[in-house]
Structure 1
């Protein structure tokens, strides 16, 4: 019995492909280092994200906020040297800031609680007027430097205030005060800025989102978006500094996102308000070893096929492994969040994003989608992705409509056999500091396998078969073949003439 899937060109399946809308980064101060910029340049060249979101805009390493005494009076001044340097480089690389407002400058903080190796202060301001003045003055500076486009840069107030490590005691009323004061100050300056929150993770998410919207309703505030995060693993098992996690059921996680969408739409005032996933990945730990694997790439392929169903956008955490939440990494493959490992080595998940970006370039008409594949119809071509999440090898067969012409099939395959830099690094002995030759070997192994074939359509259809190995992600294009050989050149004769 054939398992061939008959694909109807006239189908129109909702597919909000925002793969390139935003990507995460470690703290912004890391953008002052060369390796960080090398990785970002590589990511932008191969994928090209529109926005970038990271922590630490107001922490002391970026050095915006300063206090000094003059004639016995405490005064405030702002220093934009580093933020200009960082944002100038972002814009040069074709990416704009998604402004996460946090953490607290130590001189402005009401307490001493910090988070991460780099000690971001996570307490409320000692004076909310100092906070809102700093925020508004930064926006004024950015607007003066970069022009009216700054009005389009999304703004998010804080990060994960529902966790006590990120917001002192996870104090909900205090966070709501922070949001209100920040929102009103920004809108008083220019109401066109887009301000969202509450930027929560999946802990008590329903309670926080509902309570946040009740608060906004009672205070006659209409946020421009609701923001939350999305991670998809069970509580990890730790061994040394590494976290080993099992993936959760994907449908359960999609249902959780839908529950947030439903809560928003249950408020008449906020119905259809955009929801942004400002962080997502599999593991939520910076030493989550799954991040470097082909399994991660396949699982994320399924996520990208459906995250747009209930979200306006979704931002992968993060683009690269220059990242120091739990300290400086010891090895190039350490389970870092990034799409790219040290020395600009793309991980398998990097190609999942590159493949979805290619889909977007082909078109936005989705004509088929299931649990392990998606197909787009473009101008004189089809494009699609097939993935295999931790299953034995399987064959995916499609029947596509076509004129009776020749087509070229192009496939790019990432799987454990063809594109697995983690295995190569392991086989080399897991060097903590690989030399140039080892880096070259690892990097050479980190690119997709590309194959082509010529397929002849018959009776108004063309058959397509794709074999997906365990944890594979396969991108394919099927397009009309234009055969234009040069005079006297005969490919078959080349192969047989001896």
Structure 2
């Protein structure tokens, strides 16, 4: 089956917002103090245009924000937070502030999750929590100016429906949100606050909120076709109802629509289920309809974590299919959300400790050593699209840059043989490699007309041989660890997508008509100074 599109440079377009570039994730605040993290941030900001960064651990003990003195009074120290935020702002990105987890001296339980021992429990004193929120927000206003801080987002906690991240009842989270949003709005009503930042979507809404003290969600183990069920976001409807009943503001709604789900059944057993390849888009439509029908129809929607799976040891993340899935899910979700935040931009990431190998399946689109993975190019290519959508079909879209009038097209081949999101590859690389070998070439035909005669058009190709750093690593014998010289070569290979330049004909017509391999991504961009 051919992917075919025709677009005229002078056709009427519709506004296209780059929601895929709005926000990107990172592990925890303290990792932002490292040189590698900062270098990778500048790289993805320049290439992919990310505008916000979200991470855990803002109040963790390694940031030294909060401790109690011998007299029991709080001692506040914002120097480390200032360091991270200063460098982010200098790099051209803003914080998407996750308010969490509890500082050790304010936590009901300590070291409940992650290698670094996040204190995932409610604060022992909501009044002292509110004082902390007030103090740090006032500090930010003083340091960065009110107009700047108004441009940030403030998200209350992370995944409070999951036991390791919030050892408390749903009602306790709702109370935490209430005191947090009240404290921030008391400083300035235009500060943007939201939640509930829950994970994940569950079938038919089971365990999505009806049980007050259920800290995990469930699936129906006997269901024969989970994808045929109605998947609903956890707690969101109840959260909005609670806020409305208390007259609390909600500037944005957040949750985490991972298409691969680990859910507890009624007996405490885990079950893994990889959903259909269009699960992300279906979830966003569901969430959009829920918010539109709620008392908060003007609330923005921010999906503040998303990836093909929620595992930091899934080798799929290192492979080409991760990039194809990124492009597919984002193009199919145009108009449904304000952000779909890829988790995460770098493998400087220690939820489970350091990765044991260069390619260890980490979330990042850049390895610890600074080697770009294919997912990096997915976002770089998405960022090359224009701000007007001219035409779209399954597998491709053509856009126009309003300022220059030049066109950009992006296409992908997600093979029909794979009906699910990319299956996770957790116990090694074999599943990822088998999936990468699935599928047959597909013809791609994109015709652009109305261009300037003989204008220059650049074609970039991301596939198993081009821009695929792990293939280059295997070709050099999979060295572990690579030498300094090998690392330089891997970085070059990671950046080296296929690229060639062609010209439109004398009538201003350009035609791309070729077979492209499975999992490949093709960017066609008219040079802006030739239109």
Taking structure 1 as the reference length, the TM-score comes to 0.88
Whether 1:334 and 2:357 are equivalent positions in the alignment is no
Distance 1:457 1:248 in 2: 48
Moved more, 391-400 or 211-220: 391-400
Q: Which residue of 2 aligns with 1:496?
A: none
Whether 1:358 and 2:381 are equivalent positions in the alignment is no
Q: Which residue of 2 aligns with 1:442?
A: 490
Equivalent residues of 2:103, 2:119 under 8 A apart:
yes
Superposed displacement of residue 481, structure 1: 8.3
Distance 2:405 2:335 in 1: 27
Q: How does 1:46-195 map to 2 (within 5 A)?
A: 46-70=47-71, 74-112=72-110, 114-148=112-146, 149-169=148-168, 171-195=169-193
Q: Which residue of 1 aligns with 2:390?
A: 367
Moved more, 55-64 or 425-434: 425-434
Change (3 A) 1:364 1:54: same
List alignment gaps of at least 5 residues for structure 1.
237-244, 484-498
Superposed displacement of residue 478, structure 1: 3.0
Q: Which residue of 1 aligns with 2:204?
A: none
Change (3 A) 1:235 1:406: same
Equivalent residues of 1:402, 1:457 under 8 A apart:
no
List alignment gaps of at least 5 residues for structure 2.
202-207, 209-231, 264-271, 416-438
Summarize deviations over 1:260-308 as a string: whole Å, max 9, x none. 22111222x2113211111111111001111111111111011121334
Superposed displacement of residue 467, structure 1: 3.6
Distance 1:214 1:85 in 2: 38
Superposed displacement of residue 12, structure 1: 3.1
Summarize deviations over 1:459-485 as a string: whole Å, max 9, x none. x744332442221111111358869xx
Change (3 A) 1:422 1:103: same
Equivalent residues of 1:52, 1:97 under 8 A apart:
yes
Equivalent residues of 2:5, 2:396 under 8 A apart:
no
Equivalent residues of 1:294, 1:415 under 8 A apart:
yes
Superposed displacement of residue 430, structure 1: 2.8
Change (3 A) 1:6 1:81: closer
Superposed displacement of residue 448, structure 1: 1.0
Superposed displacement of residue 198, structure 1: 0.3
Q: Which residue of 2 aligns with 1:426?
A: 474
Q: Which residue of 1 aligns with 2:241?
A: 214
Distance 2:261 2:315 in 1: 14
Distance 2:451 2:384 in 1: 24
Superposed displacement of residue 234, structure 1: 5.3
Change (3 A) 1:308 1:402: closer
Equivalent residues of 2:396, 2:410 under 8 A apart:
yes
Change (3 A) 1:400 1:341: same
Moved more, 27-36 or 197-206: 197-206
Change (3 A) 1:253 1:96: closer
Equivalent residues of 2:181, 2:249 under 8 A apart:
no
Change (3 A) 1:301 1:2: closer
Q: Which residue of 1 aligns with 2:409?
A: 384
User: What SS does the corresponding residue of 1:227 show, helix, strand or coil?
Assistant: strand
Q: Which residue of 1 aligns with 2:445?
A: 397
Change (3 A) 1:470 1:403: closer
Distance 1:207 1:393 in 2: 39
Superposed displacement of residue 437, structure 1: 1.9
Equivalent residues of 2:200, 2:261 under 8 A apart:
no
Distance 1:457 1:2 in 2: 27
Change (3 A) 1:440 1:207: closer
Distance 2:58 2:307 in 1: 22
Equivalent residues of 2:48, 2:382 under 8 A apart:
no
Q: Which residue of 2 aligns with 1:223?
A: 250
Whether 1:17 and 2:25 are equivalent positions in the alignment is no
Distance 1:28 1:3 in 2: 43
Equivalent residues of 2:25, 2:343 under 8 A apart:
yes
Report which of the two structures shows the higher radius of gyration computed on alpha carbons.
1
Change (3 A) 1:125 1:337: same
Q: Which residue of 2 aligns with 1:489?
A: none
Change (3 A) 1:75 1:383: same
Distance 2:393 2:297 in 1: 28
Change (3 A) 1:322 1:133: same
Equivalent residues of 1:113, 1:168 under 8 A apart:
no
Superposed displacement of residue 41, structure 1: 2.3
Distance 1:272 1:147 in 2: 26
Change (3 A) 1:404 1:354: closer
Change (3 A) 1:113 1:416: same
Aligned residue pairs total: 466
Distance 2:317 2:2 in 1: 36
Equivalent residues of 1:59, 1:105 under 8 A apart:
yes
Summarize deviations over 1:38-86 as a string: whole Å, max 9, x none. 222222232232111000000100010010123xxx2111011211111
Superposed displacement of residue 397, structure 1: 1.1
**Pairing partner for 2:293 from 243, 266, 270:** 266
Whether 1:254 and 2:277 are equivalent positions in the alignment is no
Equivalent residues of 1:369, 1:375 under 8 A apart:
yes
Distance 1:2 1:129 in 2: 61
